[in-house]
Amino acid sequence: MPQQNQQQTETTQQVSLSDKNKLGVIAKAPTKPQRVTAFDRWLLRKMSALIGHPPFVASLWDGVEYMHQTELLPVGHLKFKDRGALYWLLMDPELHFGDLYSTGRLEVEGDLLQFLEIAYDFMGRNLPNNLFNKIVKAWMNRPRVNSLSGSKNNIHHHYDIGNKFYELWLDKEAIQYTCAYFPDPDMSIEDAQIAKLHHVCRKLQLKPGDTVVEAGCGWGGLARFMAKHYGVNVKAYNISHEQIVFARSKALQEGLADKVEYIEDDYRNIKGEFDVFVSVGMLEHVGNNRYKDLGKVVDRCLKPDGRGLVHSIGRNFSMPMNAWIEKRIFPGAYPPSIKEMMDIFEPFDFAIQDVENLRLHYSKTLEHWWQRYEENLDAIREDFDEAFVRAWRLYLVGSIAAFNMSELQLFQIVFTRARRNDLPWSRAHLYTQG
């Protein structure tokens, strides 16, 4: 269960994302009322100018509203609650916006999603990319070391918050914390996650008796689904203890324990030889200089005519992870570009057969999650403080904005051993089955 720290004082709140990652100094709002100075106002105008005057109303802690003259209608109201909030945000908007929002020192009134989309848009177009910014960004975005023990800590940070938390807003059936597949955009999240699982299995051309290894199995939904519906035998690896315990008990309940083995271990320790390698939503945690190591594992464990699929958040080009998400939500996470992903495959002569970008499917998935999240706030508040609640809201909504604005992509990559010639003559089989 999540460790929580409820030692709140009058002036600080503590995020309970984990027992290690405190907000620290940024959580400390001032205790005494502050006067707004001419310099504060000058800074606010300067900030607006810096990102090209987005159509936001802004106010400082005296409540006086400011908006640059523009023909655009305002899409949100950004409220700075104290001088520190203004200064922290100016120092590094990407990292500190999240913390200031979480702790309530910064408030957004209006449509949060639209506000974030416009912020992405204006910042992408207008934020100067000078040397100072680059140095600061490089420093802030230094990757966490995903060594075997580092990975365990990073994954614990995110996935061991508690199964109960995720069950409140993920789909009920397959409990998928990865992008769903909406061939019809009006599908329910339950149907879309089942459609995703079928889509993955069809891409892998699973047939009864195949042996499958899964790297990073979450709560084990895909592994059980493959065993149940496609008659394969699965070994599924995960380093999150809570998830493995959950997955095993589900497999027992569903009578699949002889077809699916859940192994609490790192993907680098995968042993054995398999017909199929699959990894859905793990590559984001592998880290941007370890793709060749992952390829080595795949090469070691795949039979001579083997095939595989990697499903991962990605980028149109290489860039650092959003600093706040990397720090507060997903330590060690990094979404690679296709060029970077190729380091998994090219050194080992794997043949790329199919790449599909499901970017807008992730927007839609996240919309469903966000809706359920808001519907279950009371239950979430039983276990988590308000800073946590606000941080996760920002993370969900910010992710929708990032996919909508194409800051993030979702790639499914199908690959085979180079000389596998038993390939379908078209991809029609992905679309013609029940």
Q: Kindly tell me which of 58 and 192 has the beta carbon lying closer to its own copies.
A: 192
Query: Which residues in this chain contact its own copies in the complex, by CB under 8 A?
Result: 181-185, 316-318, 337-339, 342-343, 345-347, 349-357, 359-361, 404-406, 409, 411, 418-419, 421, 423, 425-428, 430-432
Residue 226 CB, nearest distance to its own copies (Å)?
21
Minimum distance from residue 188 beta carbon to its own copies (Å): 15
Retrieve residue 372's tokens: 């359920």
Q: Cα(310)–Cα(324) distance, rounded to whole angstroms?
A: 26
Nearer to its own copies by C-beta: 238 or 409? Answer: 409
Q: Which is nearer to its own copies, 190 or 354 (CB)?
A: 354
Closest contact distance (angstroms) between CB of 129 and its own copies is 14
Smallest distance, its own copies to C-beta of residue 425, A: 6
For its own copies, the closer of residues 166 and 182 by Cβ is: 182
| Residue 288 or 406 having the CB closest to its own copies | 406
192 phi and psi, to 5 degrees?
-70, -30
Break the chain down into helix, strand, coil percent, rounded to 5.
Answer: 45, 15, 40
The runs of H, that is alpha helices, within 260-385 are 291-301, 323-324, 338-345, 359-375, 377-383
Contact 250, 222 (CB under 8 A): no
Residue among 122, 30, 31, 35 nearest 76 (CA): 122
Q: 21 vs 406, which CB is nearer to its own copies?
A: 406
CB 198 to its own copies: min, Å: 12
Q: What is the largest CA-CA distance in the chain?
A: 74
Distance CA(121)–CA(91), nearest Å, equals: 20
CB of 291: closest distance to its own copies in angstroms?
Answer: 11
Among 313, 399, 329, residue whose Cα is nearest residue 144? 329
Residue 315 to residue 410: CA distance in whole angstroms: 8
